Amino acid sequence: MGALVALGLALAVGAPANARGHRIRHVFIIVLENESYSTSFGPHSKAPYLSRTLTREGRLLRNYYAVGHESLDNYVAMVSGQGPNPFTQGDCPSYVNVVPGVVTVDGQASGFGCVYPRSVQTIANQLTAAHLSWRGYMETMPKPCDHPAPNGQPAPETAKMRYAPRHDPFVYFHSITDNVRYCDSHVINFKAMSSALKHVSTTPNFSFITPDVCDDGHDSPCPDGRPGGLVTADKFLRKWVPRIMASPAYRRDGLLVVLFDEAGANDTSSCCGEIDANSPSPGIGGPGGGRVGAVLLSPFIKAGSVDKTAYNHYSLLRSLEDIFGLSHLGYAASPNPGAFKGI
């Protein structure tokens, strides 16, 4: 894999920069589930490919934090900068609109609910407006843009259907789902990614990759008998990360981010003076979603480097917006904690 990074550096010479000076033009995000930093990256990690191989190949963000508990509030934050509210903290028990949904001066949709009004934008909307491409790749998604009916609940997960809408942030925004054709063509089954990776021209500028609830480490054991947890998540990474890094788009000007949505339930720590307009306790039992860590891989990143700066999911969004020359949404507009350094 080190050879791939070296080849990427060679191919990157002369790569065009965007309006804000970034050469990165293809970003891949893989989101895993529910592990604290000490478990995922510690000396006894059950994910050696993640904790050893990938940290040697890329940059380890040692102090990367989730913004809340449970899952959905973190996924929403990654793509929109919206903070947790009681409904997103509860993984959207009923697919209801955020009410009253008036956007405040800090870019937050006020009130409770989990489906955001059309006025609330995501990085997906921003990319489309900037004539850049994106896809949400959802493993075992039964049909494009799959989500519960209004006021309904998600379908139960089974051994064959392990797609969880709460791990798919795009289907919680009317700015995406109200245009059925648009949503159906952008929020799609993970299987489509293999062919997309074959050429630069077919690889989206932004790929948000959600493994199913077995491959992302959420379930342990899995309904189909696999061990689940970090063991199965590491196996998923071992299969797919090399394919992404071997793709022409990544080798030319790519960035891959591997992160976790939240830490274990007992870790409610936060960083960077995190605040939230709609929830007095984003971590339910504390101020945040805990320390999870993350790994960045890119031809433009020094292999084996470590960044000890404190970041969170709002930093991720701000960094992506900076890469693509976009304005900052919601809490990503806050200078604290700011964007990732050195990309």
Q: Is residue 328 part of a domain?
A: yes
Q: Is residue 339 part of a domain?
A: no
Q: Is residue 277 part of a domain?
A: yes
Q: How many structural domains is the chain composed of?
A: 1
Q: Is residue 59 part of a domain?
A: yes
| Sequence-ordered strand ranges (E) for 141-263 | 187-189, 206-210, 254-260
Mention every residue, 6+ apart, whose C-beta is less than 8 A from residue 301.
58, 59, 255, 342, 343
Q: Is residue 131 part of a domain?
A: yes
Q: What is the CATH number of the domain that holds 316?
A: 3.40.720.10
Cβ burial, residue 274 (10 Å; 0-12/13-18/19+): buried
Closest CA to 233 of 254, 209, 249, 251: 209
* Distance from C-alpha of 269 to C-alpha of 60, rounded to nearest angstrom: 19
Q: Is residue 343 part of a domain?
A: no
What is the domain range of residue 101? 2-13+27-333
Q: Is residue 211 part of a domain?
A: yes
* Distance from C-alpha of 130 to C-alpha of 87, rounded to nearest angstrom: 31
pTM of the model: 0.93
> pLDDT of 290-341, one tens digit each?
999 999 999 999 999 999 999 999 999 999 999 999 999 999 999 888 999 9
Q: Is residue 157 part of a domain?
A: yes
> pLDDT of 111-170, one tens digit each?
999 999 999 999 999 999 999 999 999 999 999 999 999 998 877 766 666 999 999 999
